[in-house]
């Protein structure tokens, strides 16, 4: 799979050349700064190690039948093209040629629709999908192959290796499942044909922004935008970053002058750590990310549920409301009370820290964040047992 920030080693297409001509002088992206001259030797060593430890990802391929739709006949798409030419200096004729090749993907529309109502949430069932033998074994191998990069990320960013390993494992099984959709297809579909939902306007605006970022990313990287393959929502690479996140948070952690989230495990590791720090990770906070809690029959604690994805309350406030942990809570920290529902079984409660909530900025779900925590822990334990 070609990296979103890694040049294709073949002649560029006519479309790509035309798209790039107006902005070639500004093509370098700020997040892909080359290694300093004084660090060339270290950067070369990192790049060499990264190439030796690349994950064995399945080759990406498009295996769906898109519907040929004349997106160019849609006024909103024409307006988008005009804006890209005026705002970013793209060649208008080249954009017309490009957009004429984009397909409508009904599968993306169906996959972003809300789940049908009535099905109870079940944390334990969700957990079983991610904290399971295949991911744990693959996680041990990934950690062993990338131990130096993980240790360096932990030292530089303060994010434990097991958290980074947990995220990449949950997202793509360490590069095995990175997506099968052309990013241009799904982002165009969702930007201009999002299904009827209460938040439709906001979601269309989001995907329109990501379509803009895809074109900017491709131009800065000198790659054909139609070559980018990702998830049904347009996420790319081992850590499944959206194009905007690649531009904002991607890191050239192997020092080879390119940000390559598809083929460089080292870049993926550094980028995940950087994303978390930029979204509230507190490097100086050690200890559990979430403390198991019990709740009292009085139910005063219920007002602390659903108070957003942030730690806002002291341990004393939560204890006074009847949400208690047997562990000794750090006195200088804030917490949030989270509930992990288990269908007909008892709900599990935790006092979550700032760092737990930083993971929810990657995916806005308590279930997701806790699965990252538990998969990372399981991989760490399995790796220590194997010696």
Top-confidence residue, 271 or 39: 271
On the question of pLDDT at 381 being above 60, the answer is yes
**pTM (global) more than 0.75:** yes
Overall average pLDDT of the 230-236 stretch? 97
Cβ atoms within 10 Å, residue 343: 13
> Measured between alpha carbons, how far is 166 from 153 in angstroms, rounded to an integer?
14
Looking at residue 69, what is its pLDDT?
81
* Confidence category of residue 8, pLDDT binned at 50, 70, 90: very low
Looking at residue 64, what is its pLDDT?
62
Which position among 154, 171, 210, 212 bears the catalytic label? 171
Which of 246, 115, 108, 75 has the alpha carbon at shortest distance from 190?
108
Burial of 299 (0-12, 13-18, 19+ CB in 10 A): exposed
Which of 273, 212, 276 has the alpha carbon at shortest distance from 247?
212
Overall average pLDDT of the 119-130 stretch? 94
Which of 199, 192, 268 has the alpha carbon at shortest distance from 235?
268
Angle at 325 between CA 320 and CA 330, to 5 degrees: 90
On the question of pLDDT at 335 being above 60, the answer is yes
Instruction: Give yes or no: 171 in active site.
Output: yes
Range in 13-17, 145-149, 259-263 the model is least confident about: 13-17
On the question of pLDDT at 47 being above 60, the answer is no
Looking at residue 118, what is its pLDDT?
72
Backbone φ and ψ of 352, nearest 5°: -95, 145
Overall average pLDDT of the 120-138 stretch? 97
Range in 107-116, 265-274, 335-344, 345-354 the model is least confident about: 107-116
How many Cα neighbours within 13 Å face the side chain of 50?
28
Cβ atoms within 10 Å, residue 24: 14
Looking at residue 61, what is its pLDDT?
62
Please enumerate in sequence order all residues whose Cβ is within 8 A of that of 138, keeping only pairs 6 or more positions apart, or say none. 169, 173, 174, 176
Which of 234, 228, 268 has the alpha carbon at shortest distance from 251?
268
Q: Which two tokens stand for residue 16?
A: 């790509």
Which of 209, 21, 189, 220 has the alpha carbon at shortest distance from 99?
189
Q: Which two tokens stand for residue 217?
A: 């990313």
Contact of 132 with 371, CB cutoff 8 Å: no
On the question of pLDDT at 19 being above 60, the answer is no
Looking at residue 116, what is its pLDDT?
81
Overall average pLDDT of the 81-109 stretch? 95
Contact of 238 with 268, CB cutoff 8 Å: yes
Beta-bridge partner residues of 231: none
Looking at residue 48, what is its pLDDT?
44
Mean pLDDT for the chain overall: 86
> Measured between alpha carbons, how far is 378 from 312 in angstroms, rounded to an integer?
29
Looking at residue 60, what is its pLDDT?
53
Range in 12-21, 153-162, 190-199, 299-308 the model is least confident about: 12-21
């Amino acid at each position: 799979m070609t990296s979103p920030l890694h040049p294709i080693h073949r002649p560029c297409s006519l479309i790509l050349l035309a798209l790039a001509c107006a902005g070639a002088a500004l093509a370098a992206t700020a997040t892909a700064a080359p290694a300093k001259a004084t660090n060339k030797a270290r950067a070369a060593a990192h790049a060499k190690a990264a190439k030796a430890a690349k994950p064995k990802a399945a080759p990406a391929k498009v295996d769906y039948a898109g519907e040929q739709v004349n997106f160019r006949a849609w006024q909103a798409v024409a307006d988008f093209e005009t804006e890209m030419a005026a705002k970013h200096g793209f060649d208008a004729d080249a954009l017309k040629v490009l957009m004429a090749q984009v397909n409508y993907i009904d599968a993306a529309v169906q996959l972003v629709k809300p789940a049908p109502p009535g099905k109870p949430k079940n944390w334990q069932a969700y957990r079983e999908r991610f904290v399971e033998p295949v991911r744990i074994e693959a996680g041990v191998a990934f950690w062993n192959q990338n131990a130096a990069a993980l240790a360096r990320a932990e030292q530089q960013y303060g994010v434990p290796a097991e958290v980074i390993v947990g995220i990449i494992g949950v997202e793509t099984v360490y590069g095995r499942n990175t997506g099968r959709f052309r990013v241009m297809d799904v982002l165009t579909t969702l930007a201009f044909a999002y299904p009827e939902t209460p938040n439709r306007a906001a979601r269309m605006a989001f995907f329109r922004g990501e379509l803009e970022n895809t074109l900017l990313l491709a131009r800065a990287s000198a790659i054909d935008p139609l070559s980018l393959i990702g998830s049904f929502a347009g996420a790319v690479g081992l850590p499944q970053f959206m194009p905007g996140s690649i531009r904002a948070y991607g890191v050239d952690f192997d020092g080879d002058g390119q940000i390559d989230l598809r083929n460089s495990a080292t870049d993926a590791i550094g980028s995940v750590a950087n994303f978390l720090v930029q979204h509230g990770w507190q490097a100086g906070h050690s200890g559990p990310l979430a403390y198991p809690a019990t709740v009292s029959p009085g139910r005063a604690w219920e007002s602390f549920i659903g108070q957003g994805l942030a730690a806002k309350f002291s341990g004393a406030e939560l204890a006074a409301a009847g949400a208690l942990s047997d562990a000794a809570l750090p006195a200088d920290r804030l917490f949030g009370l989270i509930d992990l529902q288990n269908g007909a079984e008892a709900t599990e409660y935790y006092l979550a820290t700032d760092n737990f909530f930083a993971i929810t900025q990657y995916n806005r779900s308590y279930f997701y964040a806790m699965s990252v925590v538990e998969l990372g822990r399981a991989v760490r334990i399995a790796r220590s047992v194997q010696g």
